[in-house]
């Protein structure tokens, strides 16, 4: 999606009310929407503020914050948000990646499949649980296998839309590996569909990015055959 298209989509969406959008699955561009001053507060300051605000939410819902089981919940939620499930919002947590020369002269596709990830839907803040499959063809450099997992985890640990997550992972790999020959497939279950709304526990969502050589029928079939094994 180019900037012009993204801006048109953003404008069109902004002209709709929240009620008109409802549960529609929307996203406005490749970048995760962030305020310009997103990192004005330190992580500790954010945790302190989230704890206070979440305590207020619990109080509004009528929960007894003096109960031994609940009184530590605001702090636990704040810590979980900043240090764990939304840690991918902070660019300081981006994994450092080292590249190595392709000394094996392996020039076919490398596939890392079934990378488990947990993300959260940005529309309802409930989990997205899925698996990512990544493939690339070396342009002269290779990446450690565990780093592929870490890239998936980094981009998944933020409020997300699956289409954006797919493209963010693909663009990051294209940049790091200096190649267009990258493929990303994500198969995920959205709890905003299964645990609320239509409450369909059987459906799953699949998204794919095929770049360079992978954007051919032959390579797509070859990749799909690897994933079936």
Catalytic residue, candidates 25, 112, 122, 171? 122
In terms of Cα–Cα distance, which of 80, 84, 75, 93 is closest to 39?
Answer: 93
Neighbours of 174 (CB within 10 A): 18
| 66 alpha-carbon distance from chain centroid | 36
Question: Which position among 121, 153, 168, 172 bears the catalytic label?
Answer: 121
Active site residue 122: yes
Q: Which of 55, 133, 153, 162 is catalytic?
A: 162
Catalytic residue, candidates 123, 153, 160, 172: 123
Which residue among the candidates 25, 112, 124, 222 is catalytic per the annotation?
Answer: 124
* Rounded CA separation 183/222 (Å): 12
The one catalytic residue in 55, 133, 168, 192 is 192
In this structure, the number of other CB atoms found within 10 A of the CB of residue 65 comes to 13
45 is catalytic: no
- At 17, phi and psi to the nearest 5? -80, 165
Alpha helix segments (H runs only) across 124-161 = 145-156
**Catalytic residue status for 121:** yes
Indicate which residue of 133, 153, 172, 190 is catalytic: 190
Residue 4 bears catalytic tag: no
Q: Is 123 marked active-site?
A: yes
For this structure, is 133 an active site residue?
no
User: Which residues is 184 bridged to in the sheet?
Assistant: 134, 209
Task: Please give the positions annotated as active site.
Answer: 121-124, 162, 190, 192
């Amino acid at each position: 999606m180019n900037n012009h298209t993204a801006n048109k989509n953003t404008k069109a969406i902004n002209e709709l009310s929240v009620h008109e959008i409802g549960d529609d699955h929307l996203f406005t561009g490749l970048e995760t929407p962030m305020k310009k001053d997103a990192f004005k507060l330190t992580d500790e300051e954010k945790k302190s503020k989230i704890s206070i605000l979440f305590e207020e939410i619990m109080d509004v819902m009528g929960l007894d914050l003096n109960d031994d089981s609940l009184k530590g919940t605001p702090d636990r939620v704040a810590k979980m948000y900043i240090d764990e499930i939304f840690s991918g919002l902070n660019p300081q947590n981006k994994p450092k990646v080292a590249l190595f020369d392709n000394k094996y002269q392996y020039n076919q596709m490398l596939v890392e499949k079934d990378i488990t990830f947990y993300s959260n839907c940005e529309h309802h803040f409930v989990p997205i649980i899925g698996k990512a499959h990544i493939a690339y063809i070396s342009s002269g450099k290779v990446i450690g296998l565990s780093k592929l997992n870490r890239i998936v985890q980094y981009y998944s640990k933020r409020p997300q839309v699956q289409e954006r997550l797919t493209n963010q992972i693909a663009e990051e790999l294209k940049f790091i590996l200096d190649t267009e020959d990258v493929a990303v497939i994500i198969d995920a279950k959205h709890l905003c569909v299964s645990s609320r709304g239509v409450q369909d526990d059987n459906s799953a969502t699949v998204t794919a990015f095929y770049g360079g050589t992978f954007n051919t029928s032959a390579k797509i079939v070859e990749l799909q055959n690897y994933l079936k094994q």
